[in-house]
Amino acid sequence: MVRPERELAGFARVSLRPGETKHVTFRVSPSQIAYLNREMRWMVEQGEMDVMIGASCEDIRYEETIKITDTRYMEGPDRVFYCMGEVTA
């Protein structure tokens, strides 16, 4: 199966005053990158994936490639589709 070129995993709206900084943490579940294979089973496949953080898909501010070291299957009802960002000062 072909994965989407880009897929929103989560977001957080953060209001900042001039000069203010905040820390935003996202905990992405492995099941968020699962897809249905030919046997119609949810799986996360071994390989590399680019993770991007930005103000929008056109304004990427950070990008890193992660390595998925093992192929795993999971049950559909256990899938997570979205993660909330946690904002701290």
- What's the predicted TM-score (pTM) here? 0.73
Judge whether residue 2 has pLDDT over 80: no
**Which residues, in sequence order, are CB contacts of 4 under 8 Å at separation 6+?**
none
pLDDT 10s digits, 42-87: 999 999 999 999 888 899 999 999 999 999 998 888 888 888 889 9
Task: Give the per-residue pLDDT at 62.
Answer: 93
- d(C-alpha 57, C-alpha 84), whole Å: 18
Q: In this structure, what token pair is assigned to residue 53?
A: 């953080």
Q: Which residue's structure tokens are 């093992």?
A: 70
